[in-house]
Structure formats: structure tokens, C-alpha cells
Amino acid sequence: DARVTQTPRHKVTEMGQEVTMRCQPILGHNTVFWYRQTMMQGLELLAYFRNRAPLDDSGMPKDRFSAEMPDATLATLKIQPSEPRDSAVYFCASGFRTSGSNEQFFGPGTRLTVL
Amino acid sequence: AQKVTQAQTEISVVEKEDVTLDCVYETRDTTYYLFWYKQPPSGELVFLIRRNSFDEQNEISGRYSWNFQKSTSSFNFTITASQVVDSAVYFCALSEAASGSRLTFGEGTQLTVNP
């Protein structure tokens, strides 16, 4: 049963600390997305990769957020330094795009609380 | 710019009632894709359906059915004979072919099915 996995599932940290969230996409998928869900903003795209190359990170605050794909089985989202307004659920999703837009399969999310 | 509107913030029904969740979208692209996702209380996002802009045929899957009407830019979702397990937040989403699979989500509709 192929699934997107995310670690950690929950993270509580103090303002100013570095936070790293990890995602393992479904094997064979070539597109990886990072979304953030908050009560105020809903679900919003932060960044996405195709074949490990970043295609769009316009939704990400550049000064503190960074996203990478060190290899095809790992995507990371890092916040440094974290702030209370970063508290949210961060979802990773993966899909396989050949043409058109295929469905994205979401991981369980990382619930981040910044105190 | 793409936009998805789910005007119904919350809906409450009694078990076995039929319920329709509305979704209206905006796009300038002629090729686009529409999605519905379910987010149960556990928090994960579950893919339900994908529709491309060239296929207006309605679809039925068990108790679920979808009505896609390009003339009104709507992609409504109906649950027939609702059950308590259908209680969740339902998101409609849009992806333009030109945007490379990125999803724009609506605000979500909280559906509560009471016994």
C-alpha cells in the first residue's frame, strides 16, 4: 500500500528554533508538493518540485523557509528561524505528471506549533 | 488567476439525507482539472475525484456523484443517503494546465452528519 510518509507527525518548538520536516513521496512519483494549512489561510501551496528540480516556491517566505529534494525519496522543508505565525499543519503530496494534471496523494501532515 | 469558492462553510444533515456541496471556480485557462478531497477528523487529505475540463460527463461512484457544468463554472458534489462516517471537511480544488499541477483549494465545507 503505497503512501506518502511525513516526519515528524507533531512538532512543538520555541520561537527562533530551526524546524525540519521530511517527506518520502510515493516511489515512482516525479512531482512533490508542500502545502500549509491554517485556519485563516486554508490550504496554500508553498513549493513544488518535478524530477527533484524546484519549479515554484513563490508561496514560501524566502527569508526563513527553504525546500529541497536531496534525492528522489526525500523532500525537506526547513524553517529557520521559526516564528509563532508558522504554526500550521504542513502537508507533503506527491504525484506523477506526464501530461495534464494527475491526482496528488497527500501525506498525513506535520502539525507544527511554535511557542 | 485561478480561484475556487465553496460558499457553504458548514452543512449539517441527518443521516440518510442527501446533501450537495457546491464548488464554483474561476480560470482563464481552457485546459484545467477539478478535484475533490475529503479531510476527516483525523486530518489526512483523501483524494476523491479528478475531472478534466473537456469531460463534462457526470460521474457516480457509489453514494457519491459529481455534476460538472462549464456553463456555470461549477463542480458540485452530492452524497446520497449520507452516513455519519461522511462527516468531514470537503475541499474542491483546481489545477490549470499552465500552472504545472499546482492545486488551488477552496475554503472547504464542513459536513456534519448526525445520527
pLDDT tens, position by position, B9-45 = 999 999 999 999 999 999 999 999 999 999 999 899 9
Which residue, among B101, B107, B110, would best test binding to A if mutated, counting the most A CBs under 10 Å from its CB? B101
Percent of chain A with pLDDT over 70: 95
DSSP A24: E
CA distance B80 to A12: 41
pLDDT at B102: 81
Give the nearest partner residue to A106 out of B45, B52, B97, using CB atoms: B45
* Predicted confidence band of residue A98 (pLDDT cuts 50, 70, 90): low
Mean pLDDT confidence for A29-51: 92
pLDDT at B67: 95
CA distance B33 to B11: 25
Which residue, among A96, A104, A110, would best test binding to B if mutated, counting the most B CBs under 10 Å from its CB? A104
pLDDT at A100: 59
A64-90 pLDDT, tens per residue? Answer: 999 999 999 999 999 999 999 999 999
Q: For A108, name the nearest residue in chain B, comparing CA atoms only.
A: B44
DSSP B85: G
Considering Cα of A87, then A89, then A95, then A99, what sign does the dihedral take? negative
* Predicted confidence band of residue A101 (pLDDT cuts 50, 70, 90): low
A48-61 pLDDT, tens per residue? Answer: 999 999 988 888 98
pLDDT at A99: 57
B66-86 pLDDT, tens per residue? Answer: 999 999 999 999 999 999 999
CA distance B80 to B13: 12
pLDDT at B97: 81
**CB < 8 Å from B in window 5-64 of A:** 31, 33, 35, 42-45, 48, 50, 55-56
Give the nearest partner residue to A31 out of B33, B45, B101, using CB atoms: B101
Statement: residue A1 has pLDDT above 70: no
- Average pLDDT taken over every residue of chain A: 92
Nearest to A54 by CA among A77, A28, A82, A37: A77
